[in-house]
Amino acid sequence: MSTLPRFTAAAVQAAPVYLDTEATVAKAVSLIAEAAGNGASLVVLPEVFVPGYPYWNWTMTPVQGSPWFERLRQASIEVPGPQVETLCAAARQHGAVVVIGVNERVPYSLGVLFNTMLTIGADGRLLGVHRKLVPTWAEKLTWTGGDGSSLKVHQTEVGPLGVLACGENTNTLARFALLAQGELVHAASYIALPVAPEDYDMADAIAMRTAAHCFEGKVFTVVSCSTISPEMGIADRPRSALSGIFGPDGRPVVEPLVDDEGIVYAEIDLNRCVQPKQMHDIVGHYNRFDIFRLHVDQRPRAPITLEETWTTPPSDAPGYPTPLS
């Protein structure tokens, strides 16, 4: 009789060393070591933890914020790259599955940055590079949207693991796409949002999204959120951040952490997902696939496709080669 994994998960709530790439990576390595030292086999860190979130999109005009975009690009990382190798080495050293958000730059364009979630196996292999599909509201001034190629569930030492960044956890179809691939552990990474409208409670918003996904999919979610530090230059306000671990009934497994830096630990037993699935299995018997159908395009998108093989032109052709069809 097969049994599902049982393990300790860690949800990290911390601020980056703002726009300081190497210092933030070092802090991430330290947090991974601390969490693993306390028994965690899965460590989830916040959205764009390396090297921070572009809060100026919310507090400045696009013209005022443009120099900050340049600073962020300079501090962003390439994937793969040396900073990713450092994070992978930390996962391997401590034997933990790691999920962490980074700002990713690309070599083909100076204007393209991605909000990227890295999934790293306990053996140090980079398993997944998920680029946020739709940057939220003011974030469109900074990030380019990703494609469906990274909307995948990874088979890890802690079970089938899927990840989404912040507002993506509101996207019903994106969440269903992960559930339908067998997701049982969901990692949801967020940023603290004190710049939201006055009537918006970020802690409540995170908790509601997390509970909804857990209850609908009968899965566990480890949710990690960043916090605000003085060097970010924005005023903090209460209930801007929440991190914790939620079970397949939609309830927190332990008391979530609100606003303060720290690490939340909880034991996850994936066998707890079985009996609730008998009641509502929305990727199985509790659906009507003869009525509903979801198509996910997982082809990677690139700005150009280059054909490198050419035919020999016929004798009467103009003076340039003819591409193969």
pLDDT of 196-210, one tens digit each?
Answer: 999 999 999 999 999
Residue spans of the domains in the chain: they are 6-323
According to DSSP, the β-strands at 42-44 and 97-106 are: parallel
Closest alpha carbon to 32 in 42, 24, 19: 42
174 φ/ψ angles, rounded to the nearest 5 degrees: -65, -40
Q: Where do we find the tokens 């912040």?
A: 166
Residue 166 annotated in active site: yes
Residue 47 annotated in active site: yes
Amino acid at 230: P
310 band by pLDDT with thresholds 50, 70 and 90: low
Tokens of 143: 């990030």
- 322 pLDDT more than 70: no
Annotated active-site residue in 27, 88, 104, 132: 132
- 318 pLDDT more than 70: no
Annotated active-site residue in 27, 47, 104, 214: 47
Q: What is the mean pLDDT of the chain?
A: 95
Q: Is 175 left (phi over 0), alpha (psi -120 to 50) or beta?
A: alpha
Secondary structure E strands in the chain: 6-13, 42-44, 97-106, 109-120, 126-131, 154-156, 159-165, 185-190, 220-225, 242-246, 257-258, 262-269, 310-311, 322-323
315 band by pLDDT with thresholds 50, 70 and 90: low
Q: What pLDDT, in 10s, does the model give residues 45-101?
A: 999 999 999 999 999 999 999 999 999 999 999 999 999 999 999 999 999 999 999
Q: What pLDDT, in 10s, does the model give residues 241-253?
A: 999 999 999 999 9
Q: How much is the pTM?
A: 0.94
307 band by pLDDT with thresholds 50, 70 and 90: confident
What pLDDT sits at residue 3?
Answer: 86
Mean pLDDT of 123-145: 98
Q: Which residue has the higher pLDDT, 316 or 143?
A: 143
Q: What pLDDT, in 10s, does the model give residues 214-229?
A: 999 999 999 999 999 9
Q: What pLDDT, in 10s, does the model give residues 9-32?
A: 999 999 999 999 999 999 999 999
What pLDDT sits at residue 323?
Answer: 52
Mean pLDDT of 297-310: 87
112 φ/ψ angles, rounded to the nearest 5 degrees: -105, 120
324 band by pLDDT with thresholds 50, 70 and 90: low
Hey, what long-range contacts does 60-68 have (CB within 8 A, 24 or more apart)? 62/141, 65/141
Burial of 15 (0-12, 13-18, 19+ CB in 10 A): buried
93 φ/ψ angles, rounded to the nearest 5 degrees: -60, -40
According to DSSP, the β-strands at 185-190 and 159-165 are: parallel
Annotated active-site residue in 104, 152, 166, 273: 166
Q: Where do we find the tokens 């990290």?
A: 12
What is the distance between the alpha carbons of residues 112 and 293, in angstroms, rounded to a whole number?
Answer: 33
Tokens of 23: 């210092």
What is the distance between the alpha carbons of residues 120 and 86, in angstroms, rounded to a whole number?
Answer: 11
What pLDDT sits at residue 1?
Answer: 42
What pLDDT sits at residue 37?
Answer: 98
What is the distance between the alpha carbons of residues 321 and 38, in angstroms, rounded to a whole number?
Answer: 63
Q: Are 135 and 104 in contact (CB under 8 A)?
A: no
Selected from 3.40.50.300, 3.40.50.620, 3.60.110.10, 3.40.1620.10, the CATH number assigned to the domain covering 6-323 reads 3.60.110.10
Q: Are 255 and 217 in contact (CB under 8 A)?
A: no
